[in-house]
A and B are shown apart, each in its own frame.
Chain A
Amino acid sequence: MTDLAVETDGLCRSFGELEAVRSANLRVEAGQFFGFLGPNGAGKSTTIKMLTGLLEPTAGRIRILGLDLVSNPVDVKSQIGVVPEGLALFDRLTGPEYLIFAGRMYGLDRVTAAERAQELLDFMGLADRAKSLIVDYSHGMKKKLAMAAAVIHGPKVLFLDEPFEGVDAIAAGTLKAMLNRMIARGATIFLTSHVLEIVERLCSHVAIIDRGELVAQGSIDELRSGVSARHADGQKLSLEQIFLEIVGGERAAVPELSWLE
């Protein structure tokens, strides 16, 4: 039996009458680079918040690395890293101060935290801005710092909500290099992204959520063969085509705009 890094059973979350996530059964194996896709408002961020303990599920069970999240929140949190939607930075600290703080929150001693902070700042190209407050960083720099804080304790599972959004090509390259290193040393990465080309290049497995419902899950090849079987024209479909097919081709069809014709 393969070890599961992330496992949910009947995961639900409602906001009043809105069912943001409906009975999701996710399976992410340890060591996978897992992409979690969906249109805007489909429930991606809600799911990732529930998986990281930032949001209470209305119903269902979450197990991370075999541990129940509700009954062992601290044990689970110590083994995961998170880059949430708003980055969750203390922006009146400097980059090094924040990284050391994050390291110590995850149980590193102060010296180790400082050593790793220095390494991460060098790796992310942020060392030259060590004296600046985070509030003065650019968006890309903040993203890199949030990523550095999420990995400083060497998590076994890393949850990233839109890690490449608003990041330039150079910064994105740095982030991808770091994620690939983590995968190489056996970590599991769970990311949401709208940039399907990046997901296709990085991830081995994906799940697609649409209007709160998990509509597909598996390796990209599995999803491709499932969709190709419906078309049977022999063409190798891109992840974007698979995604559009699964979330509803009729919604993907672009209507005409009279004044642009």
Chain B
Amino acid sequence: MAGMTLVPGKQEQLRLVGWLRWRLLVNGLRTGRGKADLVAKIIAGVIIGTGALGLGPLLGFGSWYAISSGKRFILPGELWFVFLIWLLVPILISGFGAESDPASLLRFPLRYSTFVLLAFAHGILDPVAVAALYWLLAMLAGIAVASPSALLWAIPVLAAFALLNLLLNRTIFAWLSRWLAQRRTREIMGALLILLMFSFQLVWPLSARYGKRALPLATRLASASRLLPPGMAASAITAGHASRAGSALADFAGLLACSGVLGWLLSIRLRAEYRGENLSEARQETSAGRSTVRAGWNVAGLSPTVAALFEKDLRYLIRNSTAYLTLLTPVFVVIVLSLGHGGPHGRQLSFIRSSSVFFPLSVGYVMLTVVGLVYNSLGYDGSGLPMLLAAPIRFRDVLVAKNLLHTLVVVAEVLTVSVVGWFVVGPTPPLVLGLTLAGTLFVLLTNLAAGNLVSLYFPRKLNFGQMRRQQASGMAVAASLGTQVLLAALVTGMYLLSRWTGHLAWCGVAFLVLAGAAWVAYRHMLGLASNIALKRREVLMAELSRPG
């Protein structure tokens, strides 16, 4: 046997990893999808980058003004802005999906130092980190112009602040990757993200309603924030500038201590990853337990096949934390609307709280949100799809089961918003109720017919518990959007016309006639579905059953 090879040095390993990333990028451009992805990233990069560049002078000016005028709230405000952007945006962009993982390189003789450097390189090369570093430099420039002597403290403090942010970013991602490696924790994280997003929606209406009462609490929180990294960094700079070296040193030491804690937390994860850890899905359930098998559901009025498919789809929906976002959003927004009358747009929005407007508007919003599911209804079937194609069933039954579930969801949501409406604005007038329900029936049937076709022609695989890249195909989105615009224009136009002519009841009749026509179209579509699925089975399997 020939001689053993030497493990390449750190620089060579980093160069090789750089080459690998470059090849992955270049090879990714071989497909149309990869090229489109790159173009989209470039466009987004230019737009966001322009915004980020524009913010630099603004932050620089702010720092200059803070040091020159002695306004104490400006520097902490700017540093909080940088801190929150650096902390939250990468997480929200990643959509709780795992980022490119240096651990995948551990099969090679990678040195620990190279592994750590790679983890930091991921953090420092992140566009958000680059923008944040640029903002910090701009702030430094502002401080330098205001008072060059302030740089003595500003340079080390902002450097420590940048290091802390980098460590925080890496620590969060390292632990997120750990939690995202297993299905259960991944789905819990997804649900937490959804809750977080909902919470943000509540900030404005709640502050509008309870703002004055919450002011003392907000003031206390603001003073407590001084003990957090952005507050400490700002204090260190201003204290240093005011020649209070002891106070500046204490804040600076606080920053370094926080960085030390984060570095320690990060090193726990990195060492565990480097040593190798088994995070396979199968490991977690050792006592899953034996149980007696219970027969499937028997749904009255449905054929056994459709009942079984409906049961499967309902179980899938219940086990899909991402779908909760779609299902909860309309109800949540209706609640937000009902709270929001105290805000700056209170008067303009007060018409929403009219009993004849609240229900139709809420139902319209429900339809807009929920019908998105219809246009990629096979998305979550994924690897199971070949089983449906190999089974002795008509594919129309698959779509019927899905449409029944979609209808059930719409009914549940409409009922929920009507109950909310009852409490918020009182009972909906019967004529408005009837008109809304007739219009909803028409819109739902039209969407089901169109959505079934689009699902067969433009399917896209969706993954459970993942927010990132969880969209239907571009064509499906366009078709859905186009249909909603047309339907909204038609329904609103008919309503306004009948209101203008004073024959609102006729509008309801027209909606019912249209619903009848939509039903005929829906039945016709179902008649075609099995043949379309048969003809398009290869596309369906290639798109929906592909791994990853």
Contact = CB atoms under 8 A, between A and B. Distances in A.
Contact of A55 (B183, B307, B387, B537): B537
B231 to A, nearest CB: 44
A117 interface: yes
A111 B295 contact: yes
Given A56-B537, A74-B392, A130 B387 contact: no
Interface residues of B, number: 53
Interface in A136-155: 136-138, 141, 149
A121 interface: yes
Interface string A60-82: 00000000000001111110001
A117 B387 contact: no
Contacts of B298: 110
A102 B305 CA distance: 10
A26 interface: no
A233 interface: no
A89 interface: yes
Interface stretch (A91-99, A182-190, A222-230): A91-99
Contacts of B295: 100, 110-111, 113-114
Contacts of A164: none
Nearest to B541: A54
A105 interface: yes
B386 A118 contact: no
B383 A106 contact: no
Interface string B286-329: 00111111111110000011011101100110011000000000
Contacts of A86: 383, 386, 545, 547
A89 B382 CA distance: 9
A109 interface: yes
Contacts of B284: 136
A137 B391 CA distance: 23
A78 B392 contact: yes
Contact of B464 (A92, A113, A115, A131): A92
A105 B305 contact: yes
A135 interface: yes
B387 A96 contact: no
B282 A137 contact: yes
Given A91-B384, A114-B294, A101 B390 contact: no
Q: Which of B284, B381, B386, B537 has the most CB of A within 10 A?
A: B386
Interface string A21-59: 000000000000000000000000000000011111000
A56 B547 contact: no
A138 B282 contact: yes
B293 A106 contact: no
B308 A54 contact: no
A84 interface: yes
Given A101-B311, A129-B285, A53 B390 contact: yes
B281 interface: yes
Nearest to B545: A86
Contacts of B285: 129, 132, 136
Contacts of A260: 1-2
A105 B305 CA distance: 6
A136 B183 contact: yes
A127 interface: yes
B122 interface: no
A105 B387 contact: yes
Contacts of A76: 392
Contacts of A130: 288-291, 293
A152 B297 CA distance: 18
A88 interface: yes
Contacts of B282: 136-138, 141
B312 A56 contact: no
B293 A117 contact: yes
B390 A52 contact: yes
Given A90-B316, A136-B282, A118 B292 contact: yes
Given A74-B393, A88-B545, A102 B289 contact: no
A90 B320 CA distance: 13
Nearest to B312: A101
B26 interface: no
Interface string B388-416: 11111110000000000000000000000
A99 B387 CA distance: 12
Contacts of A172: none
Nearest to A128: B290
A74 B390 CA distance: 9
Contacts of A176: none
A249 to B, nearest CB: 28
B479 interface: no
Contact of A73 (B183, B293, B534): B534
Contacts of A248: none
A127 B388 contact: no
Contact of B296 (A75, A110, A137): A110
A210 B464 CA distance: 39
B385 interface: yes
Contact of A89 (B296, B304, B383, B390): B383
A85 B309 CA distance: 23
30 contacts: A53-B390, A54-B386, A54-B541, A56-B538, A73-B392, A75-B392, A77-B391, A82-B386, A86-B386, A86-B547, A88-B385, A88-B390, A90-B316, A93-B312, A97-B312, A100-B296, A100-B308, A101-B312, A104-B304, A105-B391, A107-B304, A110-B297, A110-B304, A111-B295, A117-B293, A128-B288, A128-B289, A130-B293, A133-B183, A136-B281
Interface of A: 52-56, 73-78, 82, 84, 86-93, 96-97, 99-102, 104-107, 109-111, 113-115, 117-118, 121, 127-133, 135-138, 141, 149, 258-261
The 6 A-B residue pairs with the shortest CB-CB distance in the complex, in nearest-first order: A90-B384, A78-B392, A104-B308, A77-B392, A88-B386, A88-B387
Given A86-B386, A106-B391, 20 more contacts: A74-B392, A82-B390, A88-B386, A88-B387, A88-B390, A96-B291, A100-B295, A102-B387, A102-B391, A105-B387, A105-B388, A105-B392, A110-B304, A114-B295, A115-B293, A130-B293, A135-B464, A259-B2, A260-B2, A261-B1
